[in-house]
Chains A and B, each alone.
Chain A
Amino acid sequence: MPRFARMAYQKADDMVFGSSRKPLSYGLGIKVGTGRVIPEAKYAPRPGVTQSPDRLKREFVDYMSKDIIHRAVNLGFPDLQLETEWISHMGADQRTSGDIVSMQKELIEGCHAEYGINLAVRQTIPDLRECELGLRPGRDSIRSHPEQLFESAETACSQGADVLSVETLGGKEICDYAVTQGDIVGFLFGMGCLGSIDAEYVWDEFVGICRRNRTVPGGDTACSGANTVMFMSGGYLDNDVQKTFSALCRCISAARSLVPFECGATGPGKDCAYEGIIVKAITGLPISQEGKNAGCAHFDLMGNVMAQCCDLWSDESVEYHPDFGGSSVACWAGSLGYECSLMNTATASGNGKVLRDLYMLSDRVRSPESYILSYDNAWAVGKAIVDNRKDHYLRARAAAIAGANIILEGYRSGELGLSRRQLEKLYRMIRDLESLPDDSDAFMESCLRRYSTEVSKFDPANYGL
């Protein structure tokens, strides 16, 4: 598999929201990365609705999708992308899922014809595979989740998805363990190596499915590992995971999330794990990001900075319910669209880079995570990945070491504050990462031995190892 060998952006300052080196056109007039940032609205049905296929279809199409589109038209937004993140039940009910996809397609065609608004739908299918049962087709004889994953991709694409995405969960069993142990080497192995191997396996197939159906292969995000870390790292009052640990997890995850694009995915990338800025610096492909306008779903210390170079701006997942201003999904979509209007006004008036910098600076020193994701630092992490592209392990390790050194330099220069424990953890991680072998086979061998013992549900055969 060819690996990205050079940076799409020769310098960090070239990156800005709304613009990407490899823009895309799809759906009904949607153009991503050509100058305008587009709101990407996501929604989740109410608890209980899932039990009836008819209620589920009505909730997804007649209530949520329609409410959002009408709000976008009411507020004068020129573009809107919907993202349907399939709930777990939909993976097991292809018929209902296929109906939802085709009904949404029909809906956006009608709205596009009636109002002229540019529209598209991203379908993000669920990865329900369980490592205990088997991650690859033929290995899970109880629930057939691996087969279901590929079947879902076929269903989504054949029924009219404009963009296909997924959040593959390869390596999750090791990442979960590593997070609870504060073990950066385990996370490197789980996400950087196993996650990459699994993403490659899945996306090799998905790209073919997309091409056959003329669907845009959107890519993947390291939600199951990196988002879990971010969730647990939390805010200033939380003390489960050190924020310096969480920051390095984002660097490692970027190396993994490159893989779908190396398999042929074209973007727009997904938002959940917040590694997209590093991926964009390397690939030049458009990305969807989320931050303050996704407070309904995610809590983090990066509300503004994530907008700095986005191409789509997402609200992540809004549960449907009534609010004073209308339905929840319409209200949050409105806030997304207004934020996009602000960005697009900045671009149109020649102030795009000023607003980009204001977004970034307002969060830059809020946490080690926001510091490493500030676009200049994210670009430098991307450069380390490209410079060490020989294999999954070496580039993920290089990303982590580069990230650690950037944070340390930020601290030493007095720009970034760290608590005593955040700093201690940073030093320990640097020591652990730098003491790892340069030989990938030696690293894999040592990790296979260690984690096969320590994590009972880890089965190397799930990764062809």
Chain B
Amino acid sequence: MIDPRKVDYGFILRRYDIESESQMRPETVAARMLPQDPLLGEVASSVMFMRLRDVGPAVSRALQMGVKPLDIINKGLVAGMDAVGYLYKEHVYYLPEVMMAAKTMESGISLAEKHIPGGRVTKGMVVMHAAEGDPHDIGKNIAAVMLRSAGYEVVDLGKDVPVDEVVRIVLDRKPLMVTGTALMTTTMPAFPAAAEKLHAAGLDIPYMAAGGAVNREYAESFDGGIYSRKAPQTPPIADMVLKGKGWREIREEWDDITGGI
């Protein structure tokens, strides 16, 4: 074997992952982004630092001290999750941190919303599925967690979902948006097929196409189609739909909405 010590690796490659590793510390971000109020700060901090065991007591303390449950959710739990999203964007947090923080936040929300008469109103509904013939649904599952964290109700149809079943449920539930994921190019034609049937039935809603096989050009090749490259892009796109933007506008503003990543 040629002796690896004789090889000048610096001549061969650059480890951009090491060279450009963010030196940002979550504590610095916490000081800047989390609420100053000590009760809400504690709630937000439990989410940001993924302290699942602490979130319940923190929410209970805030409730006992008279903080409104909706404020606990929006100014505490969601604020903590916003900081997590920022850290993910800055490559400080990875997916496991995001998932754990989301789980912590959901735990806090379920406790706080019990104190809201009639329960918490979600922002809106999103129907999600993996394409007919496609057994890969990890990306959809991650995006579902992120949408729920952002306050959306998710109707998860699972994987390998027949086109007609997607159409039937969407027509029945009338969500804000539909999402479909496909890992294989052979399964992604399910998206234009379903979108066409929805449009023929008079439902002009955005149909997000995503997954390893799908690119932006394909997603935008059929009426209704919009693209999401990564799961964290899904909530900001849903926010735009919620604001009343149609699929054509979202396509135009896609780079601004998603940060162009």
Q: Which residues from chain A sit less than 8 Å from chain B, CB to CB?
A: 12-13, 44-48, 50-51, 87-89, 127-128, 130, 132, 169, 176, 179-183, 224, 228, 231-232, 236-237, 239-243, 319, 353-354, 357-358, 361-362, 364-366, 376, 415, 417-422
Which chain B residues lie closer than 8 Å to A232 at the CB level? 95, 138
Beta-carbon contact of A180 and B186 below 8 Å: no
* B121 interface residue (CB < 8 Å to A): no
* B39 interface residue (CB < 8 Å to A): no
Residue among B2, B16, B138, B184 having the largest count of chain A Cβ atoms under 10 Å: B138
- For B261, the closest partner residue in chain A by CB is A237
Considering the complex of A and B, which 6 residue pairs feature the smallest CB-CB distances, nearest first? A182-B96, A88-B133, A236-B17, A240-B95, A357-B2, A236-B16
- For A299, the closest partner residue in chain B by CB is B212
- For A364, the closest partner residue in chain B by CB is B4
Beta-carbon contact of B17 and A419 below 8 Å: yes
Interface size on B, residues (CB 8 A): 42
* B157 interface residue (CB < 8 Å to A): no
What separation, in Å, do the CA atoms of A364 and B12 have in the docked complex? 11
- For B12, the closest partner residue in chain A by CB is A362
With A50-B186, A417-B18 as known contacts, state yes or no: A180 contacts B133, CB within 8 Å.
Answer: no
B28 to chain A, nearest CB (A): 15
Which chain B residues lie closer than 8 Å to A420 at the CB level? 21
Beta-carbon contact of B94 and A239 below 8 Å: yes
Instruction: Report which of B18, B96, B138, B142 forms a contact with A419, defined as CB distance below 8 A.
Output: B18
Q: Which residues from chain B sit less than 8 Å from chain A, CB to CB?
A: 1-2, 4-5, 7, 9, 12-13, 15-18, 20-21, 88, 91, 93-96, 99-100, 133-138, 141-142, 145, 158-160, 184-189, 212, 230
What separation, in Å, do the CA atoms of A180 and B160 have in the docked complex? 21
What separation, in Å, do the CA atoms of A124 and B177 have in the docked complex? 36
- For A13, the closest partner residue in chain B by CB is B1
Instruction: Report which of B96, B133, B137, B185 forms a contact with A319, defined as CB distance below 8 A.
Output: B185
Which chain B residues lie closer than 8 Å to A365 at the CB level? 9, 13, 15
Beta-carbon contact of B17 and A176 below 8 Å: no
Q: Can you give 8 A-B contacts (C-beta < 8 A)?
A: A47-B188, A128-B160, A130-B160, A182-B94, A236-B20, A239-B94, A415-B5, A420-B21
Instruction: Report which of B1, B20, B96, B134 forms a contact with A180, defined as CB distance below 8 A.
Output: B96
Which chain B residues lie closer than 8 Å to A236 at the CB level? 15-17, 20
What separation, in Å, do the CA atoms of A87 and B188 have in the docked complex? 12
With A232-B95, A366-B13 as known contacts, state yes or no: A179 contacts B138, CB within 8 Å.
Answer: yes
Beta-carbon contact of A241 and B94 below 8 Å: yes
- For A49, the closest partner residue in chain B by CB is B186
Which chain B residues lie closer than 8 Å to A179 at the CB level? 95, 138
B153 to chain A, nearest CB (A): 18
B68 to chain A, nearest CB (A): 32
Beta-carbon contact of A130 and B88 below 8 Å: no
What separation, in Å, do the CA atoms of A179 and B231 have in the docked complex? 15
Beta-carbon contact of A239 and B186 below 8 Å: no
Beta-carbon contact of B1 and A357 below 8 Å: yes
**Further contacts, 11 of them, CB under 8 A, given A44-B185, A50-B189:** A44-B184, A48-B189, A88-B135, A89-B186, A132-B158, A176-B141, A180-B138, A182-B94, A228-B136, A239-B88, A365-B9
Beta-carbon contact of B7 and A361 below 8 Å: yes
What separation, in Å, do the CA atoms of A418 and B21 have in the docked complex? 10
What separation, in Å, do the CA atoms of A224 and B137 have in the docked complex? 11
What separation, in Å, do the CA atoms of A357 and B7 have in the docked complex? 11
Which chain A residues lie closer than 8 Å to B145 at the CB level? 180
Which chain B residues lie closer than 8 Å to A240 at the CB level? 94-95, 230
Which chain B residues lie closer than 8 Å to A89 at the CB level? 133, 186
- For B135, the closest partner residue in chain A by CB is A128
What separation, in Å, do the CA atoms of A425 and B5 have in the docked complex? 26
What separation, in Å, do the CA atoms of A44 and B182 have in the docked complex? 15
A56 to chain B, nearest CB (A): 10
What separation, in Å, do the CA atoms of A317 and B167 have in the docked complex? 30
Which chain A residues lie closer than 8 Å to B159 at the CB level? 130
Beta-carbon contact of A376 and B1 below 8 Å: yes
What separation, in Å, do the CA atoms of A119 and B158 have in the docked complex? 41
With A128-B160, A228-B138, A319-B185 as known contacts, state yes or no: A87 contacts B133, CB within 8 Å.
Answer: yes
